[in-house]
Chain A
Amino acid sequence: MSELKCIGIDIGSLATKIVLMSNGDMVDWRLNRSTYDFKRVGRDLFDDILTKNNLSRSEVYVMSTGYGRNTIDFADDRITEISAHARGVQFFYPEARSVIDIGGQDSKAILISRKNGNVIDFQMNDKCAAGTGRFLEVMAHALEIPIDEIGSLALESNKPASISSTCTVFAESEVISLFAQGSLKKDIAAGIHKSIAKRVASMAKRIGVEPLLVFTGGVAKNIAVKKYLEKELDFEIFQPEYPQLTGAIGAALIAKDKNAN
């Protein structure tokens, strides 16, 4: 009998990710903008991954996760992104003890048990956008540079500007004001990254994150956030090859675990 194939689908506020796993390996994946219509984007990605892999609905077990997990009516079960990321990082780093996940509108710190790999504590930002991908987007817009370039620009700075506001709206005004005072873009960009790292690290310290810490979510692709987080936490942190897919991979692995029991 062939092994049941598992699909994890992570509906984030900005991006929807889907992975197909078989025999504990990632076979295929997709990623697209979530738009306002989570359900349709999820359905399209699901249909596409099934078609491309010559699979029918009955051959896969589907676990949804992420902000829009409840909108996926074709899922067999659902799991929060907190459990999914904790499980997903263990796929890449079995020794992982902590996770920092920064997505489009949320940032989370997760502590994993040494004994059994289960989540033992977590912290999550509240509705404030500071310390999230959205914050970076707003700041990139204020600096008039593409979001993909803001991280590398920040790394060119030796003198990060001081951004004292933690609120996105006030920080944006502060950035414009720094601009007006003649501060360099790269220094402002560095200040922005430092500000995110300070905020997220402070949240993570509240639950006592420790090495080995894995950085996941879309913002983990930003090398400057990683660098400043390492400075704030004072230890090395790791990024998986596909940080954005961690939640979907975790959901698929939880689906597999569930079906094995």
Chain B
Amino acid sequence: MDNIELLESYNSYLQEQKANGKKIIAYLTHDNVPIELFEAAGFVPLPLIFAGKDELMDASHSYLPPSTCSYAQSCIGYFSSTPRTHEFLDLADYILLSNHCVSNICVSEILSNNFNRKRLDFYVSYTRNSNALKYYKLELKHLQKEIEGITKERIPDHRIKEEIIRHNNFKTIVEQVSKLNIPGSEKLDIYQKAILYGPAIQAEIEEIISSYKSNTKNTNSTHPKNVIFTGCSIFINDYLMDLIEDAGGNIVLFDTWIGRNYYSQTFSEEVIASLNDPIDLLTKRFENNVYGDHCVPDSLDNKIVFLENYVNEYHKKYGDKIGVINHIIKFCDHFSLFQSYFKEKLQERGVQVLNLERDYSRSIKGQLSTRIEAFMEMI
């Protein structure tokens, strides 16, 4: 069911920010976008983390062929569908173009060229060698200059560092959600909200965590089939989470950008204290992000080892064998390409994997449900 309340409150929040003279930057989410820079300059980052629908995908076909990633189609649909389903997106002044994937570039270009959004560019290398780090740093500086060109004000280093620390603390708090003994759907709601608003709702997230901690309700009896969810994130108002829980599944770890990839991008206090230049700090985070889905050459193998260890540790701790659902949005180049290798390698290690490839259409709900239920029966 659509979380109308969340979208309405987010709409009010953006309207309020706009009324206060703030500029809004929309971006297709990935873990190397330096949102701290935006916030230090007084901009509001708007992550496009909304799930697709038939209507949204259909509305994109004047711009993109149906054989493009369903999420990319939906992103265009947010802006081109009639009636509009996400009107608050009209409030976005800028779109950040980044090269996380081909769709990211296509969507940002189309939005900027056809929907009158000014474009900011931020290209990221996929490797982590010394040249890649230099390149990332140059891109950060370039982006900073572009933003300063808009505001006509220099962003002071101390402001960037303050934002880095604020986001760092916030992510550390969000990480606590992963350890709560609550159904996956409730964790996901918190992650989605946290990423949507960022540290602006830190107190609220702390309160939610605290209320869960004081509630000792055991959820294992109602959700006996525990699984790890990896691959493409579950975006806001996606029906997928309902299908998993209706099939008796419970996600114990979201190994996706909305989840672990977000809250694990943190620094220790020592690292923060040791680097004075905030751009160096952001570069350090990029360097450390070896689990990011677009870090070559080893991100996939790192992920496989991480998941194998997680499954084994979970088994030791709780006695349960858990499976892995690898979520692939149809025509997502990255996850689609590696799905067979990923499944094969984990199966060799005794981990059961469901490659769940799908688009956002309603007509495939029955088949998706069968695959998920069969996987739950299998584990």
Interface, chain A (partner B; CB < 8 A): 67, 79-83, 106, 118-122, 124, 126-127, 206
- The listed residue (A83, A120, A124, A206) touching B371 by CB distance below 8 A is A124
Q: How far is the CB of A252 from chain B (nearest CB, A)?
A: 16
Beyond contacts A67-B370, A119-B378, A126-B357: 15 other A-B pairs, Cβ-Cβ < 8 A, are A80-B370, A80-B373, A80-B374, A82-B377, A83-B374, A83-B377, A106-B370, A120-B352, A121-B378, A122-B378, A124-B370, A124-B371, A126-B367, A127-B364, A206-B340
- The listed residue (A124, A127, A206) touching B363 by CB distance below 8 A is A127
Question: Is B361 an interface position by the 8 A CB rule?
Answer: yes
Q: How far is the CB of B202 from chain A (nearest CB, A)?
A: 41
> Cβ of B367 and Cβ of A80 under 8 Å apart?
no
Complex Cα distance A81/B371, Å? Answer: 10
The residues of B that contact A124 with a CB separation of less than 8 Å are: 367, 370-371
- The listed residue (B330, B357, B366, B374) touching A122 by CB distance below 8 A is B374
Q: How far is the CB of B374 from chain A (nearest CB, A)?
A: 4
User: Who on chain A is nearest to B378 by CB?
Assistant: A119
- The listed residue (B367, B374, B377, B378) touching A127 by CB distance below 8 A is B367
Q: B50-104: which residues lie under 8 A (CB-CB) from chain A?
A: none
User: Who on chain B is nearest to A80 by CB?
Assistant: B374
The residues of B that contact A127 with a CB separation of less than 8 Å are: 361, 363-364, 367
The residues of B that contact A122 with a CB separation of less than 8 Å are: 371, 374, 378
The residues of A that contact B357 with a CB separation of less than 8 Å are: 126
Number of residues on chain B facing chain A (CB within 8 A): 17
The 3 closest A-B pairs by CB, nearest first: A82-B374, A80-B374, A80-B373
Q: Given A126-B358, A127-B361, A206-B340, answer yes or no on A106-B377 (Cβ-Cβ < 8 Å).
A: no
Which of A81, A118, A126 has the most chain B CB within a 10 Å cutoff? A126
> Cβ of A119 and Cβ of B374 under 8 Å apart?
yes
The residues of A that contact B366 with a CB separation of less than 8 Å are: 67
Complex Cα distance A254/B378, Å? Answer: 14
Complex Cα distance A74/B366, Å? Answer: 20
Which of B357, B370, B371 has the most chain A CB within a 10 Å cutoff? B370
Which of A79, A82, A120, A206 has the most chain B CB within a 10 Å cutoff? A82
Interface CB pairs A-B, < 8 A, 9: A79-B377, A80-B373, A83-B377, A106-B370, A119-B374, A124-B370, A126-B358, A126-B364, A127-B364
Complex Cα distance A206/B342, Å? Answer: 13
Complex Cα distance A206/B352, Å? Answer: 15
The residues of B that contact A106 with a CB separation of less than 8 Å are: 367, 370
Q: How far is the CB of A112 from chain B (nearest CB, A)?
A: 11
The residues of A that contact B370 with a CB separation of less than 8 Å are: 67, 80-82, 106, 124
Q: How far is the CB of B97 from chain A (nearest CB, A)?
A: 31
The residues of B that contact A67 with a CB separation of less than 8 Å are: 366, 370
Q: How far is the CB of A84 from chain B (nearest CB, A)?
A: 10
User: Who on chain B is nearest to A13 by CB?
Assistant: B366
Complex Cα distance A77/B352, Å? Answer: 25
Q: B343-372: which residues lie under 8 A (CB-CB) from chain A?
A: 347, 352, 357-358, 361, 363-364, 366-367, 370-371
Complex Cα distance A7/B252, Å? Answer: 36
User: Who on chain B is nearest to A113 by CB?
Assistant: B378
Q: How far is the CB of A118 from chain B (nearest CB, A)?
A: 7
Complex Cα distance A83/B375, Å? Answer: 9
Complex Cα distance A106/B330, Å? Answer: 18
The residues of B that contact A82 with a CB separation of less than 8 Å are: 370, 374, 377
The residues of A that contact B371 with a CB separation of less than 8 Å are: 122, 124
Complex Cα distance A11/B6, Å? Answer: 38
Complex Cα distance A83/B347, Å? Answer: 19
User: Who on chain B is nearest to A127 by CB?
Assistant: B364
User: Who on chain B is nearest to A78 by CB?
Assistant: B373
